[in-house]
Amino acid sequence: MPILKPIPTPNGITAAHRIVKTELTGATLRLQVHMYPSLEQAQDAHLLWQEYPELPLATLDVQDPIASLERALTTQVDGLFAGGTYVPDAAEGDLETARARKWADIKAERDRLEGGGFDMPGIGRFDSDADSRARIVGAVTAAKIAQDAGQPYTIAWTLADNSTFELDAPTTIAVGFALLAHVDAIHQHSRALREQIDAAQDLQALAAIGWDVQIEPEPTEADPQPAETEQP
């Protein structure tokens, strides 16, 4: 229990998923899966979404029914939960399970922030969900083609607050670079946190890791100074 995998839903990014109900229909099991924003919030007060995947009856292990079905969902070809991490109940002091849970929370926050928008000084806030990122990439491509051909280019862009702003080619390209910087900064931070998670030696150190934790840069050696030479 449960499955850990960041999944976007109409109500936000979910990261922890539990089977709460199964229904037999012929040789097929129809499951009800509750989806939560994080493992710590995997309770119905924080329920964001639910899905109803199906599995063959043969995947059920009657000795461990829920666990067998949750494991099966992580390997279901083209399934919504495919590639997720099945996390069994943790034994006391189980550092590897705690690492998997912590990384799932970090990934969920990474994906939430990546799709949460970014600001452009003097213009406003741009949406950055998957569809908006694709639209920005398309607009940047069109702007670059027009600019290279010496042709005029403008586009009326709807901002996150539903106001519109007229973008010319250079400004559209600048928006693309701002999106790239937004996404890159988030992923650099998540990679640094992953290194901290992997390096944590106990549960206390692991618990101290969170998205808002500042990552200290690696110390670098000072450039060696040329040795002084004695003047003749």
The continuous run of DSSP H or E covering 157 comes out as strand 154-158
Task: Please write the tens of the pLDDT for every residue from 118-167.
Answer: 999 999 999 999 899 999 999 999 999 999 999 999 999 999 999 999 99
For the chain, the structural domain boundaries read 3-89, 113-207
63 phi and psi, to 5 degrees?
-75, -25
- Looking at residue 162, its pLDDT comes to 96
| pLDDT recorded at residue 42 | 79
37 and 111 Cβ atoms separated by less than 8 Å: no
Nearest to 74 by CA among 60, 88, 84: 84
Give pLDDT, residue 220.
Answer: 46
33 alpha-carbon distance from chain centroid = 20
Residues of the chain with pLDDT under 50: 220-232
pLDDT (0 to 100) of residue 101: 79
Q: Are 109 and 210 in contact (CB under 8 A)?
A: no
Percentages helix, strand, coil for the chain (3-state, rounded to 5) are 40, 25, 35
> What mean pLDDT value characterizes the chain?
87
